[in-house]
């Protein structure tokens, strides 16, 4: 989900807020930035650091010419450190967690003398990927912060971060943009207004996810899946065939399709339509069975690999959906 090195317009208020606080000499020692969108936040982190560390900023914009700006661009500024998921040298895969050694190195760096200015910035992203040991290692620094240090914990999922860590940070959130801004941004990505609405609905308002889904042709996949699923329900398409067809798409898209169908039927059977109106037909037993399956399917399909096991799990979930929906109402 790359959007180049341009700051996303709905993230810009974060930088303004930080600069205003610094001007008022009220910059906290730890901030948790909670992003509602799923995009890569490293551009935001770098621009925020540069805006705060630049010697001669103009109107919220770093000058780009001072020593700090030059060092930051070269990635050698000793006043800024970013800890993130690392790529394994051998497997070339991205690690699942931020490891304790990375946090320890960051803390060690923080305790060094400042190099150029009155502020040092240490960022952790995605902060929800710290394991328990990493979070514990960070706690002491949060409890006894060094002077002139700003700790930035940037996350897409604040709820996964231990309360002990969360409660010691000032909470900032970056909500999703409104539809007009989202439409304009998508248009800049080459996604016309005619399809932007459809994809923003699929992505529940997240323009980055909408752009990603659009570039991967998700809408066509939905249409195809709806046709295939109807055939499967009528007994015209075997479960193995449907699962094998689905298995040709990326696992995250398949999870999205299953999620969509389960949500749609859950709404229907619980007597609430998607727009919140209550309906006549309520089938509590069926609604509960769908709810249970919704939870179970999430963990059954929680893999990034399209392999035989994924296909078998998929078949199991599809059979379960069919069984629940074919059951006679009580
Ligand atoms: Zn500068």
Q: For the residues 306-318, what does the mean pLDDT come to? A: 89
Measure the CA–CA gap between 191 and 203, rounded to whole angstroms: 14
Distance (Å) from CA 58 to ligand 1 centroid: 9
In a domain, 205, yes or no: no
List residues bridging with 155 in a β-sheet.
34
In a domain, 229, yes or no: yes
pLDDT greater at residue 282 or residue 223: 223
Distance (Å) from CA 307 to ligand 1 centroid: 50
The string of pLDDT tens digits covering residues 69-80 is 999 988 888 889
Distance (Å) from CA 13 to ligand 1 centroid: 20
Q: What is the pLDDT of residue 2?
A: 39
Distance (Å) from CA 70 to ligand 1 centroid: 7
- Which of 151, 175, 199 delimits the end of a domain? 175
The string of pLDDT tens digits covering residues 115-156 is 666 789 999 999 999 999 999 999 988 988 888 899 999 999
Does one domain contain both 169 and 261? no
Distance (Å) from CA 154 to ligand 1 centroid: 23
What's the whole-model pTM score?
Answer: 0.81
Distance (Å) from CA 12 to ligand 1 centroid: 18
Distance (Å) from CA 51 to ligand 1 centroid: 8
Distance (Å) from CA 103 to ligand 1 centroid: 28
Distance (Å) from CA 160 to ligand 1 centroid: 35
Are 89 and 117 in contact by the 8 Å Cβ rule? The answer is no
As for how many domains the chain has, the answer is: 2
∠ CA(234), CA(303), CA(99), 5° rounding? Answer: 160
Distance (Å) from CA 215 to ligand 1 centroid: 36
Other CB atoms within 10 Å distance of the CB of residue 119: 17
Q: What is the pLDDT of residue 1?
A: 36
Does one domain contain both 29 and 160? yes
Domain range for 30:
9-175
The string of pLDDT tens digits covering residues 154-212 is 999 999 999 999 999 999 999 999 999 999 999 999 999 889 999 999 999 999 999 99
Distance (Å) from CA 199 to ligand 1 centroid: 39
Distance (Å) from CA 25 to ligand 1 centroid: 20
Written as six digits, the tokens of 330 are 């009580």
Measure the CA–CA gap between 275 and 150, rounded to whole angstroms: 44
List residues bridging with 311 in a β-sheet.
none
Does one domain contain both 170 and 236? no
Distance (Å) from CA 67 to ligand 1 centroid: 7
Distance (Å) from CA 38 to ligand 1 centroid: 29
In a domain, 108, yes or no: yes
Predicted confidence (pLDDT) at residue 3 exceeds the cutoff of 50: no
Does one domain contain both 232 and 169? no
- Which of 118, 144, 175 delimits the end of a domain? 175
In a domain, 71, yes or no: yes
Buried b (16+ CB within 10 A) or exposed e, 56-86: ebeeeebeeebebbebbeeeebebbbbbbee
Helix axes 179-188, 193-202, angle to 10 degrees: 120
CA torsion sign for 308, 314, 317, 321 is negative
């Amino acid at each position: 989900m790359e959007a180049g090195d341009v700051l996303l317009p709905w993230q810009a208020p974060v930088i303004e807020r930080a600069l205003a606080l610094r001007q008022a000499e009220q910059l906290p020692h730890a901030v948790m930035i909670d992003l509602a969108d799923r995009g890569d936040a490293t551009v935001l982190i770098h621009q925020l650091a540069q805006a705060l560390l630049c010697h001669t900023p103009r109107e919220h914009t770093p000058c780009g010419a001072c020593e700090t700006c030059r060092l930051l661009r070269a990635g050698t500024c000793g006043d800024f450190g970013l800890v993130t998921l690392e790529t394994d040298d051998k497997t070339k895969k991205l690690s699942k967690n931020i490891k304790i050694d990375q946090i320890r190195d960051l803390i060690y760096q923080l305790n060094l003398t400042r190099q150029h200015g009155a502020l040092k910035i240490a960022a952790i992203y995605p902060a929800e990927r710290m394991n328990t040991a990493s979070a514990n290692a960070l706690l002491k620094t949060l409890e006894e912060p060094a002077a002139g240090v700003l700790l930035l914990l940037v996350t897409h999922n604040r709820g996964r971060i231990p309360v002990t860590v969360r409660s010691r940070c000032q909470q900032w959130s970056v909500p999703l943009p409104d539809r007009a801004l989202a439409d304009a941004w998508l248009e800049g990505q080459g996604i016309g207004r005619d399809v932007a609405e459809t994809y923003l609905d699929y992505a529940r308002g997240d323009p980055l996810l909408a752009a990603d889904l659009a570039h991967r042709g998700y809408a066509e996949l939905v249409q195809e899946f709806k046709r295939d699923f109807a055939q499967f329900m009528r007994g015209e398409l075997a479960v193995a065939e449907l699962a094998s067809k689905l298995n040709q798409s990326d696992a995250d898209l398949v999870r999205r399709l299953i999620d969509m169908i389960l949500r749609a039927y859950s709404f229907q059977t619980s007597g609430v339509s998607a727009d919140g109106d209550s309906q006549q037909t309520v089938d509590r037993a069926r609604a509960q069975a769908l709810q249970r399956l919704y939870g179970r399917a999430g963990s059954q399909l929680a893999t990034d690999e399209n392999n035989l096991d994924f296909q078998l799990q998929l078949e199991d979930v599809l059979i379960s959906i069919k069984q629940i929906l074919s059951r006679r109402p009580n």
